[in-house]
Amino acid sequence: MLGEFKVNRCSRKCYAEKRPLKEGEWYYSVVVLKDDDYERRDYSAAGWEGPPEGSLGHWKCRMPVAGDKKLVLAPREVLIDLLRQMEDMPERAKTRYLLALILLRRRFVTLTDAPLDLPELPEPVDSDQPPIKWMHVEVVADGTTISVMECRIAKAEAQSLNESLNELLFCEASEIEGESDH
């Protein structure tokens, strides 16, 4: 299992050009190991020449624009409920699988053995297809078990699944803040 490490927030400055990043500007972030510690470096698009040798990972982001609506992840209970509701939506199996992985990553659920009362599961119609595999997760908050079909995701599907997940998982920060007022 891979260990976790803490990465600092965006520095808001280009590491190569030694200048502030502007609102709405695209930039690249990279994590490098320096003196037994992890260091994040941010580069403007113009200052980016690819990840430095020995980097552990990199990604592309955009600087926030003042006045843009801030999106936050929906509350834990909503996400778990959504995972349960999607059980009866076979057309959303890949989205459901990705949601389960996100919940696992956030430690809202943990992997567990198959529940004893698992219903009989259908086998693939086409004998050339591999058998269906299931991931079983236990909800940390209440100990209930949820079974999720494991799915293969093609590169061509990644963008549309990402958009679908973003629509499901994120809401405006003001929506969450408004709930606490009631």
| Angle (CA) 145 113 76, round 5° | 35
The two tokens of residue 17 are 């050009």
The DSSP bridge partners found for residue 111 are 137
Global pTM reads 0.56
Sign of the dihedral through C-alpha 15, 35, 105, 179: negative
Q: Which 3 state secondary structure label does DSSP give 117?
A: coil
pLDDT tens digits for 118-164? 555 555 555 666 778 899 999 999 999 999 999 988 888 888 888 88
Q: Supply the DSSP string of 16-80, one letter for each residue.
A: TTTEEPPTT-EEEEEEEEETTEEEEEEEETTT--SPPTTEEEEEEEE---TTPPPEEEPPHHHHH
Secondary element (H or E) of residue 146: strand 145-149
- Comparing 13-17, 67-71, 99-103, 151-155, the range with the smallest average pLDDT is 67-71
- Taking the C-alpha atoms of residue 50 and residue 53, their distance in angstroms, rounded to an integer, is 9
pLDDT tens digits for 35-71? 877 889 999 999 999 998 888 888 888 898 887 777 7
Which pLDDT score is estimated for 125?
Answer: 57
Cα 37 to its chain centre, rounded Å, is 24
